[in-house]
Amino acid sequence: MKRTFKVLFFSALLLVSTRCGLKPAGSIDTVTPINPNPTGSTLSVYVFSAPWCAECNRELPLLKSKFLTELNAEQQSKVSVRVYVVTGKTAGQVATQEISDEYGKSLELPFTMVADKYYKTYRQYFEEGYAIPAAVLLNNNKQIIQLYEPGSTNLEDLFAKIKKNLN
């Protein structure tokens, strides 16, 4: 009975703490994050996602739509959006650039797709858990303007903050 309780307790804890994400198997590799602000960008949006995550697959097309309709061409050129893919096609699979590129194409995303192998970049912003989707809005000095806690990004708030910081 004691062992069953421990198993159930830790299983529940894992489910609550991970929401949509799970830590991939394997040792921690280093991945050099891409420069978050290409020349001319004022803001960066990092989105953490995975191909198997239902909420991610719902949220990314909405992000694309809002980016293309709520920002004019000049504003779009000042905002760098990167989607960091934290796992492969299944929750336990390691992210690869090939899978990241396939994922971006499958959703017809205009954003840069990056494999975040072993949650390396994710860990720079979120210390605990592995939940996705999650997002970060950064200024051109890489300072955090807003962290959007894992689970679902408030896109209305994100675009309000983007517009405010572009002015």
| Model confidence band, residue 130 (pLDDT cutoffs 50, 70, 90) | confident
Alpha-carbon gap, residue 41 to 21, rounded angstroms: 30
Mean pLDDT, range 109-132, rounded to an integer: 92
- Residues in contact with 94: Cβ distance below 8 Å, sequence separation at least 6, in sequence order: 24, 25, 26, 87, 88, 117, 118
Parallel, antiparallel, or unpaired for β 134-139 and 43-49? antiparallel
| Model confidence band, residue 1 (pLDDT cutoffs 50, 70, 90) | low
Per domain, the residue ranges of the chain are 20-166
CATH classification code of 20-166: 3.40.30.10
pLDDT of the residue at 41? 72
